Amino acid sequence: GLEEPTSGRILFDDRDVTRLPTQERNTAVVPQTWALWPHMTVFDNVAYGLRLKKKRLKLTEEEIRRRVKEALELVDLVGFEERKPFQLSGGQQQRVALARALVVQPEVLLLDEPLANLDAKLRVELREEVRKIAKRLSITTIYVTHDQEEAMAVADRIAVMNAGRMRQVGRPEEIYYKPADLFVATFIGRSNVLKGRVVEAKGEAATVDVGFLVAAQTPQRTAQGEEVEVVIRPEDIYIGGGQLKCVVEDVVFLGRYYHTTLKCRDKTLKAEGPKPPVQPGEEVAVEVARAWAFKP
């Protein structure tokens, strides 16, 4: 509604809304800044959209009060109706913005990095709430985020975009375990990226020499002798098994797991997992359980 598309159409079910102005589309937006009216109470902020549509939808004040109450119940803010935004925590303000979007009963809910201004612990709690509410109300939701873990946690399907183009669309598991290209493989999760050359190629698998031999999946077909970039996730490197000999350079405790830096011939690998039974300077056997090879 704000930009003219150069091609394609936007459909809500079978209804073409491509040329409809924003106010005529049944959508609601939760912006990154939440954009609450500072002079209004929680009740009036949530009721704002309904009052704009009051005449067109033939809403009574009683109906508006009922729908605002239901929206506040959804986001667990009953009892906060008369407070102003400055009297709320960041998480509570985010809930008000969400309630304001839900109360108009949109066909599509648009969320633009809605949790970006919150601390890490609160982001985890609220992203679970957002997912539950969207599921409960059966609202199609488009959630924009740069946080890969957040995308994995809230989405049924993920669209990975780069330079205005969708690089891959799929379920979180597909995006993570079957990346379509090098950008997707390195954007989702943490990765070791090594340059190599294909020694043997067979279908969607290849043996690649990166200074040592690695068995890799090849979503893009490759040929013997072709130069590729190999992606290995830290959690797919197992210490204590396999034929590859490496030297432990560093071991760092990160709470849920240990981050281990390994020198494997002239290559450096980062591994993550349970506490390895080793110390810096020790030689260990390492197994690469999963890898992907992509054309540069």
Domain-terminating residue out of 156, 182, 203: 156
If pLDDT is split at 50, 70 and 90, which confidence band does 46 have? very high
Average pLDDT along the chain? 94
In this structure, the answer to whether residues 90 and 203 fall within a common structural domain is no
In this structure, the answer to whether residues 27 and 152 fall within a common structural domain is yes
Q: Is the pLDDT of residue 214 over 90?
A: yes
Residue 164, in any domain of the structure:
no
Give the per-residue pLDDT at 256: 87
User: For the domain that residue 121 is a member of, what is the CATH number?
Assistant: 3.40.50.300
Cα gap 81→70, rounded to integer Å: 12
If pLDDT is split at 50, 70 and 90, which confidence band does 117 have? confident
Give the per-residue pLDDT at 278: 87
Beta strands 108-112 and 140-144: pairing type?
A: parallel
In this structure, the answer to whether residues 25 and 147 fall within a common structural domain is yes
Residue 181, in any domain of the structure:
no
In this structure, the answer to whether residues 21 and 150 fall within a common structural domain is yes
In this structure, the answer to whether residues 117 and 240 fall within a common structural domain is no
Whole-angstrom Cα Rg for the chain: 25
Give the per-residue pLDDT at 241: 82
Q: Is the pLDDT of residue 61 over 90?
A: yes
* Structure tokens, 56: 């067109």
In this structure, the answer to whether residues 147 and 274 fall within a common structural domain is no
Give the per-residue pLDDT at 29: 94
Q: Is 84 helix (H, G, I), strand (E, B) or coil?
A: coil
Q: Please report the DSSP string for 200-221 in residue order.
A: EEETTEEEEESSSEEEEE-SS-
In this structure, the answer to whether residues 197 and 150 fall within a common structural domain is no
Give the per-residue pLDDT at 103: 96
Domain-terminating residue out of 136, 156, 176: 156
Residue 214, in any domain of the structure:
yes
Number of folded domains that form the chain = 2
126-177: per-residue pLDDT in tens? Answer: 999 999 999 999 999 999 999 999 999 999 999 999 998 999 999 999 999 9
244-281: per-residue pLDDT in tens? Answer: 999 999 999 998 899 999 999 999 999 999 888 889 99
If pLDDT is split at 50, 70 and 90, which confidence band does 63 have? very high
Residue 138, in any domain of the structure:
yes
In this structure, the answer to whether residues 141 and 72 fall within a common structural domain is yes
In this structure, the answer to whether residues 54 and 138 fall within a common structural domain is yes
| For residues 88-115, average pLDDT | 95
Cα gap 54→213, rounded to integer Å: 68
Residue 170, in any domain of the structure:
no
Q: Which domain holds residue 241?
A: 192-294
Domain-terminating residue out of 133, 156, 179: 156
User: For the domain that residue 230 is a member of, what is the CATH number?
Assistant: 2.40.50.140
Residue 289, in any domain of the structure:
yes
Q: Is the pLDDT of residue 1 over 80?
A: no
In this structure, the answer to whether residues 106 and 29 fall within a common structural domain is yes
If pLDDT is split at 50, 70 and 90, which confidence band does 30 have? very high
